[in-house]
Each structure stands twice: as C-alpha cells, then as structure tokens.
Structure 1
Amino acid sequence: MNQDKNHLTVLDHPVAAHLVTRIRDVNTTTPRFRELVARVGMLLAYEATRDIPTQTVKVTTPIEETEGFELQLPVTVVPILRAGLGLAEGVMQLIPQAVMGHVGMFRDEKALTPVSYYEKLPTQIADGPVLLIDPMLATGGSAAAAIDLLKSRGCTDIRFLCLISAPEGIEKLTESHPDVPIFTAAIDQKLNEIGYIVPGLGDAGDRLYGTL
C-alpha cells in the first residue's frame, strides 16, 4: 500500500497487480472481467475501511464468552451508474451489512463534463462513512460532481474508490475535494485526446455488461 499524505492510497500488492493486468487484457471475457473487477473492489474496500469506527461486543464461542468487535456506524456504498456496480459487488461481499445508494451520471463525450440523470440515496446516509465507487478516475468531473451531491446531503466522511486513475483526475479531485481520500488499484500515464485513460482498460461499463 502506497500512501500520499493520507489522501491517495494505491494498492501495492502482487495479487492486486495480477488482477489489474488480467482486467486490462482485451482478451478477457465479460464474465471473467466482472469477476476480476469484483475481486479488486473487495481489496479496495479493505483498504478504505481500515479506520472506520468499531464497538466492543460480547460473543459466545463454543468454549466461552469473550469480547469482539463490530462496525459502530452504518456504511453506505454508492456506485456511480452503471460501471460502478462492478466494483460495488466486491465491496458488498466484504461488507454485506452495508446499505447501497445509487447515483446516475454519464460523461458528455464532446464536452467531457458530467451529466446527472438519477439519484437514490438512503435516508440516513450522513450517519456513517460513504464509499463512492467509479472504476475510472479520468477527468475527475463525474467523481467531483457526485461528491458535491453527497456533501449536499450532509455526508462528511466520503471515500472514493476506483480501479484505474489518471493523473489529471487525481489532480482535479484533490483540488476540488481535498478532504476526500482516493483509493485506487493503479495510476496510469495520462488521458488521450478523447478523455480515455492510457493505457487503461477500455470502457469499463461496456466490458462489464458486454455492450461492446
């Protein structure tokens, strides 16, 4: 795990590197792609939840009663539709008691700006940490807009999880929301002339759902 002033965390693990390589491969099938993305989602969630509050509870083992720990606050998982659902599956496998909200956004491919079309968030979303999920941090526009929305709903503990990041997106998100830590599996070279991450993995949503 590499950290930069507690704002940027990059998964630094051979298993994560292996999974990302297989995800990038153009020959990876859609079912396999979904499976691999979910696995990375679980690893990202593990890192992103290292410091969430717990409380002491009593538990009875087959031998005796002892003390254990459970999550103190509700965790909300918010994927940005549709591509965020792939990572969210792995996050929910790690934290099955989490609740899920959804934010629908797409990128205007000409202006490279986010367009919001859907929002469904839990009523108590501001009561605990929120894991905002989008596989690609490219320009950073969609992530920044989604964080704006979450903050307008009272959220104060937001953590952004993504599969691949571009330096441009990291810079944008760091400048616009310096209080929101970023957790990513890889940082790539740059954006190309049409706003795609290079080398990237292509269109994550299309590869997740076979709409190539």
Structure 2
Amino acid sequence: MPEVPENFHLVDGPLTRHKLAILRDERTPTPIFRQAMRELALIMVAEATREMPTRKATIRTPLAETEVQEISAPVCLVPVLRAGIGMLDGALALLPTATVGFMGLFRDEATAKPVEYYVNLPRDLAEYLVLVLDPMLATGGSLSATLGKLREEGARWISCIHAVAAVPGVERVSREYPDVRFYAAALDPELNEDAFIVPGLGDAGDRLYGTL
C-alpha cells in the first residue's frame, strides 16, 4: 500500500471488500452491479459523515427529556454524472432530507480536459455540508473541476466518496484541495494508457446502465 495523504481515507473492511469483489468481477450482471454500488454507497456515506459537525439539541423521549446530537447544517449530495447517480440512492437512504445537486462533465478528446455540460446546485451553497458522489477517481481531472466549481459557488465543507481511487488521482486532488476529505473503498496503483484505473472495475457508468 503506497503512502497516502492525510486527507485521504481508505474505508477497508470485510463488507467493503465483499461489495468490491462483486463490482470488480466482469461477470457481474448490471442489476447486481447496480445493487452492489448502492450498498457500497451506504457504507461509504456512513464513514464520511463521521467528520460532519454536530450541534446539541434537547428532545423528549417517551420517558424523559434528554440531550442529543444533530448534524449542524443541511446536507447537499452532488453526484458527478453519470456514474455518480449509481451512489445516490444509497446516500439518500441515510440522508433522506438532503438536497441533491448535479455536476455533468465530459472529456474534450482534443485537449483531454473536462468540460461542463450541466450544473445544477442549490443557492447559498456555503450553508451546506457537501458530499460529492463519484465512483471512480482516476486522473482527478473531473473531480478537480467539480471541486473548483463547488468552491466558486461558495461551498466550504466538502467530502468526496468513491468506490475505487487510483494513486495518481488521489495525489492530484489531495494536493490541490488539502481541506477536502476523500473516502474510497479501494486504492489502486495505476492507470492504463486510456486513463482507466487498473485493476479497477471498468467503466462504472456503462456497467451501471448496461451501455457496454
């Protein structure tokens, strides 16, 4: 395992390994792949929310008044289209009142740089705790562009959730955004000549939606 930056967190355990085994297997059919991605998102969101700020509140149980802790600000989930949609249902299962924003990017084949084609984010983004959903962190180009847009729109607290991350992408985004936290269930060593993560799990969007 390579040395990882302080703001990168590997979420490793028997359950994440099991879900990853399903996602990595080329024989996994689309419905099972989709289910495993949703279930992995549940695990990842539970881990990423550990760092969310909370506030004290007083409630009454059926027996007595007691002090509790609540997440201190509204949450905004931002799936990066299109593969990020595969993690959205799992995230909403744990955060059903969250607002959902969207970032759509494609890679310009001539420049190899990400280009925005759709952005829909809530107003007053500075008031939200933002969780970015992006199954594959490969080169870091699309995620860097997403984070830049979120900062431009005022976001202050941001964490990113991935199924699989590659070392080159992690090194890039953690350096560019040292105050953002990144969570992944696996850290793979390299990219191939087409910028796919190796061993990875293939094209997450194609496998989620059967467009192979």
TM-score by length of 2: 0.93
Equivalent residue for 1:9? 9
Distance 2:189 2:130 in 1: 28
- Structure 2 unaligned runs (5+)? none
TM-superposed deviation, 1:95: 1.0
AA partner of residue 203 (structure 2): D
Distance in 1 (alpha carbons) for counterparts of 2:166 and 2:47: 20
2:110 and 2:197 mapped to 1: Cα distance? 16
How many Å separate the matches in 1 of 2:115 and 2:71?
35
Residues 112, 195 of structure 1: 8 Å contact kept: no
**Residue 193 of structure 1: SS of its match in structure 2?**
coil
> Which residue in the other structure is 1:167 paired with?
167
Tell me what 2:19 maps to.
Answer: 19
Alpha-carbon distance in 2 for matches of 1:109, 1:196: 15
State the SS of the aligned residue for 1:28. Answer: coil
- Would you identify which runs of 4 or more consecutive aligned residues in structure 1 move more than 6 Å? none
Task: Give the distance between the partners of 1:77 and 1:155, measured in 2 at CA.
Answer: 12
Is the CA contact (8 Å cut-off) linking 2:124 and 2:154 kept in structure 1? no
Matched, 1:68 2:65: no
Measure the CA separation in 1 of the matches of 2:170 and 2:6.
Answer: 13
Would the aligned equivalents of 2:136 and 2:162 in 1 still touch at CA under 8 Å? yes
2:150 aligned with 1:134: no
Measured in 2, the distance between the counterparts of 1:191 and 1:148 equals 23
Query: Are the aligned partners of 2:5 and 2:171 in contact in 1 as well (CA < 8 Å)?
Result: no
d(CA) in 2 for partners of 1:6, 1:88: 26
Aligned residue identity for 1:195: A
Give the gaps of 5 or more residues in structure 1. none
Q: Does 1:156 align with 2:156?
A: yes
- Of all paired residues, the percent bearing the same amino acid is 43
Match of 1:120 in 2: 120
Structure 1 residues 63 and 75, CA gap change in structure 2 (3 angstroms)? same
Q: Tell me how far 1:54 sits from its aligned partner.
A: 1.9
Q: CA-atom RMSD, angstroms? A: 1.6
Structure 1 residue 60: Cα displacement: 2.9
Q: Deviations over 1:85-129 (max 9, x none)?
A: 111221111111111100101223564321210000011321121
Assess if the C-alpha contact under 8 Å between 2:5 and 2:174 holds in 1: no
1:69–1:34 Cα change, 3 Å? same
Cα distance in 1 for residues equivalent to 2:11 and 2:136? 15
- Counterpart residue identity of residue 180, structure 1: V
Retained in 1: the 8 A contact 2:105–2:115?
yes
Secondary structure in 1 aligned to 2:175? helix
CA separation of 1:34/1:87 partners in 2, compared to 1, >3 Å: closer, same or farther?
same
- Where do 1:172-191 residues align within 5 Å? 172-191=172-191
For the pair 1:145 / 2:182, whether they are aligned, the reply is no
1:23 CA drift (Å): 0.8
State the secondary structure of the residue aligned to 1:97.
coil
Normalising by structure 1, we get a TM-score of 0.93
Aligned residues: 210
**Residues in 1 aligned to 2:78 and 2:124: alpha-carbon distance in whole angstroms:** 13
Find the counterpart in structure 1 of residue 40 from structure 2: 40
| 1:46-85 deviations in Å (ceiling 9; x for gaps) | 1111121222223332333322222220111101011001
**Secondary structure in structure 1 of the residue aligned to 2:194:** coil
Moved more, 187-196 or 106-115: 106-115
